[in-house]
Amino acid sequence: MVSSKAARNSHGQDSSYFLGWQEYEKNPYHPTNNPSGIIQMGLAENQLSFDQIESWLESNPDVLGLKHDGASVFRELALFQDYHGLPSFKNALAEFMAELRENKVQFDPSNIVLTAGATSANEILMFCLADPGDAFLVPTPYYPGFDRDLKWRTGAEIVPIHCSSSNNFKITKSALEEACKRAQKKKLRVKGVLVTNPSNPLGTTLTRHELEILVDFICAKRIHLISDEIYSGTCFGIPEFISIAEVISGRIDNVADQVHIVYSLSKDLGLPGFRIGAIYSSNKAVIAAATKMSSFGLISSQTQYLLAMLLSDKHFTASYISENRRRIRIRHDQLVEGLAGIGIPCLESNAGLFCWVDMRHLLDKNTFTSEMELWKKIVYDVGLNVSPGSSCHCTEPGWFRVCFANMSTETLEMAMQRLASFVESGGQGEGPKGSRGLKRFMYWVRQLSLADDRTER
Ligand SMILES: Cc1ncc(COP(=O)(O)O)c(C=O)c1O
């Protein structure tokens, strides 16, 4: 019934990442209406700072009333359809992006293309830079949505850059070269590398050394580098986030034209429903092609107007950025400490809305089949939807991405209680009451309640 293009299974819809969401939708946890339902820990949403935006909206009622200085802007916005976007919004977004990078770099608004979220930004870049059958190298583990966003409609291919736990999943020169060779063997032309920095799912930032390796690599091969910096405002700890923009601004070669940044307000402001994304590139040909493409997924004018007003309020952005980071750090620490209390370690991380959790010791065998078995138990028996590493193309079984910013502290507490019982029972269900592990866990719950006073207002 549908075209062969629409039927192509490169969408990745049947990955456990999306299947977990479906299971959650069938039986969603609610503390009173459905207390035995599935808790959604597979969704990288940021619900920690809504109150800050809501209170700004309350103090600025004109903005939602589509007024400016008391006069209606309704008709202007209703008719606006320029695919270059509202200049006031692009200026405000460029300044916000610089502010997130502590103004170490500046962004020229004329180098921005607005898109309906980072999903659309990544697809547009892929459309502009790769022909069907061309490949982009992407370090593993990577965001499962990339299979859909980079491959499905463009016909481009992803060749994984295999990273491993032996060096905390760092990108190395040899891993890049090895991926290139694999692409050549498959007769794929490599058009570029795409990284997420900070990383989804690792929750870590790329080091300056890794960024230099990447830039040297794309320079030598004369290919492109896309840096998806959608989580740039979530970095809450040391080392600090370094944008690719900073690295290229210090270079004497002309590599800037090969480097493109993707950004979105879905994570830092927690507004995935508003669909606000952007491509930033100083390559004029890419900007011109991407601008034409953006017609298929523009940001509505009232959304641009609202965000232009919000992001132009420098007092708001400064306090939002620091408070949001503080809350993410507290929540991250709660999850890490809770998991440690039941003997589950995480990769040390400094950003993101999730942890990369090491459950290798809970596998029956060191295989992806065992990982799937464990995942099914966690979803159906424990009632937590987490994302298995295999859905992120991780090469080692036993890693899971666990999100922490899309729920209340009480729900996180409930999730940890369930996981503690599961671990205590050796993966069979309810744990024996009063055991050492459970005591350690109850201690953590008490710490969590104390931390609540610090997080919630
Ligand atoms: C790395 C990465 N890129 C892009 C996206 C898509 O974001 P958006 O909601 O802005 O389309 C996500 C969402 O989870 C993501 O994690």
Q: What is the pLDDT of residue 250?
A: 79
Active site residue 228: yes
The CATH homologous superfamily for domain 4-51+325-456 is Aspartate Aminotransferase, domain 1 (3.90.1150.10)
pLDDT for 333 equals 98
**First and final CA of the chain: distance in angstroms?**
53
Residues of the chain falling short of pLDDT 70: 428-457
pLDDT at 342: 95
Domain ranges of the chain: 4-51+325-456, 61-312
Q: Which of 24, 29, 143, 263 is catalytic?
A: 143
Closest ligand 1 atom, residue 116 Cα: 11
Q: Among the options 17, 267, 305, 320, which is catalytic?
A: 267
Distance CA 252, CA 436 (A): 59
Q: Does ligand 1 lie within 6 Å of residue 230's CB atom?
A: yes
Using an 8 Å Cβ cutoff, are 437 and 343 in contact? yes
Identical fold for domains 4-51+325-456 and 61-312, yes or no, is no
What's the confidence (pLDDT) of residue 443?
52
Per-residue 3-state assignment (H helix, E strand, C coil) for 336-376: HHHHHHCCCCECCCCCCCEEEEECHHHCCCCCHHHHHHHHH
Confirm or reject: Cβ of 264 under 6 Å from ligand 1: yes
The pLDDT, as a whole number, for residue 249 is 93
Ligand 1 atom nearest the C-alpha of 264 is 10
Q: Does domain 61-312 have CATH number 3.40.640.10?
A: yes
- pLDDT of res. 363: 97
Q: How far does residue 351's CA lie from ligand 1's centre (Å)? A: 15
Q: Which atom of ligand 1 is nearest to the CA of 272?
A: 9
C-alpha to C-alpha distance for 165 and 426, rounded to whole angstroms? 25
pLDDT tens digit string along 231-269? 999 999 999 999 999 999 978 888 999 999 999 999 999
